[in-house]
């Protein structure tokens, strides 16, 4: 391709710019300064010109530029899609079921169910000491954002006052997160029944027989230490209408509430990738136009 030389006085000077080698002052016609051929500006054709290599080179240059821009756009879209797929809720959810009377000597079992075929696998046998502390009557289950499974057991723990287990989603190994019969970890439980997760990761446990005069209590459990605090005592009229035997607890999904820190980090990373790609695209366009 011919080398273009900058000209600050007249960018369309025939002697400088080979892509405009004609006199524009003549209306619809011009003359090729090199070959003397007449050119019809309206049809963009040289009379008698059979050499199209120069124009082909020019078209090839712009075509390559267009392909480069298209490739960059495709890469950006792929990065955004990848970031979106990494957000919670974009992947297929795990399906687990707790049975309080299954497993070895009827101590309970945690099953995983294939959401497509319905096929079951035994993930954790609460009567098998090889998988961790034994259970007695696991009745509630919840899934943490990282994939771990929380199970509440109404008959386990010190004095059979209840226990909160964390189960490894791959091996089924259990760890005791909070012993509701251990006062060193917070207010005692009595008959645990339900478990749920808050958007920030804290764990909520409902007990229908705890609290003032056994009217029920809602506990908040630290997901790292297992320390408990009494969030709402259903026997305390100062906190609202009295309860009798609250069994269930639910929290709005984190995916529809305020994004967690990890979600904000993923969104921020996606924004940085897109911004960096757009900046690179702009620089590339400036180099071509220069």
Given pLDDT bands bounded at 50, 70 and 90, which one contains residue 61? very low
Query: Given this model, what pLDDT does residue 201 score?
Result: 92
For residue 228, what are the β-bridge partners?
Answer: 221
DSSP string for residues in 61-109: HHHHHHHHHHHHHHHHHHHHHHHHHTSTTSSPPP-EEEETT-SGGG--E
pLDDT of residue 262 exceeding 90: no
From first CA to last CA, the distance across the chain in angstroms is 16
Average pLDDT for residues 226-241, to the nearest whole number? 97
Query: What integer pLDDT is reported at residue 284 of this predicted model?
Result: 74
List C-alpha distances in Å: 66 to 71, 205, 229, 282.
Answer: 9, 59, 62, 13
For the chain, the C-alpha Rg in angstroms (whole number) is: 36
Q: For residue 218, is pLDDT > 60?
A: yes
pLDDT of residue 24: 47
Fold of 96-239: Neuraminidase (2.120.10)
DSSP code, position 231: E
- Specify the DSSP element, H or E, that contains 123: strand 120-125
How would you label 76-105 residue by residue, b for 16+ Cβ within 10 Å and e otherwise? Answer: beebeeebeeeebeeeeeeebebebebbee
Q: How far apart are CA 216 and CA 236, in angstroms?
A: 10
Is residue 42 scored above 80 in pLDDT? Answer: no
| Contacts with 251 (C-beta within 8 Å, 6 or more apart), sequence order | 196, 197, 198, 199, 204
228 vs 145, more confident: 228
pLDDT of residue 188: 97
**For a pLDDT cut of 70, what percent of the chain falls above it?**
61
Note the pTM of the prediction, 2 decimals.
0.60
Q: Identify the pLDDT of residue 273.
A: 72
Domain ranges of the chain: 1-51, 52-88+260-290, 96-239
Q: Is the pLDDT of residue 27 over 90?
A: no
Q: Report the alpha-carbon distance of residue 227 to residue 140 in Å, rounded.
A: 19
Position 252 confidence tier, pLDDT thresholds 50, 70, 90: confident
Model confidence at 215: pLDDT above 70: yes
Q: Are the C-beta atoms of 198 and 234 separated by less than 8 Å?
A: no
Closest C-alpha among 252, 251, 253, 235 to residue 243: 235
């Amino acid at each position: 391709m011919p080398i273009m030389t900058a000209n600050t006085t007249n960018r369309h000077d025939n002697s400088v710019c080979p892509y405009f080698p004609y006199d524009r002052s003549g209306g619809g016609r011009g003359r090729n300064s090199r070959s003397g051929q007449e050119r019809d500006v309206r049809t963009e054709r040289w009379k008698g010109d059979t050499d199209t290599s120069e124009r082909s080179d020019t078209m090839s240059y712009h075509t390559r530029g267009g392909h480069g821009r298209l490739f960059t756009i495709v890469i950006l879209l792929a990065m955004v899609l990848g970031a979106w797929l990494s957000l919670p809720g974009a992947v297929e959810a795990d399906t687990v079921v707790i049975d309080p009377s299954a497993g070895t000597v009827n101590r309970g079992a945690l099953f995983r169910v294939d959401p497509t075929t319905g096929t079951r696998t035994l993930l954790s046998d609460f009567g098998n000491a090889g998988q961790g502390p034994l259970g007695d009557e696991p009745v509630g289950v919840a899934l943490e954002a990282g994939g771990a499974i929380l199970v509440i057991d109404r008959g386990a723990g010190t004095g059979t006052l209840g226990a909160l287990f964390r189960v490894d989603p791959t091996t089924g190994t259990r760890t005791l997160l909070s012993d509701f019969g251990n006062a060193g970890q917070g207010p005692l439980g009595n008959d645990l029944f339900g478990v749920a997760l808050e958007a920030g990761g804290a764990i909520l446990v409902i007990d229908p027989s705890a609290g003032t005069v056994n009217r029920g209590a809602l506990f908040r459990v630290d997901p790292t230490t297992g320390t408990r605090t009494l969030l709402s005592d259903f026997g305390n009229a100062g906190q609202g209408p009295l309860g009798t035997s609250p069994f269930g607890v639910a929290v709005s999904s984190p995916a529809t509430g305020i994004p967690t820190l990890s979600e904000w980090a993923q969104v921020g990373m996606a924004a940085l990738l897109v911004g960096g790609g757009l900046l690179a695209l702009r620089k590339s366009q400036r180099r071509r136009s220069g």
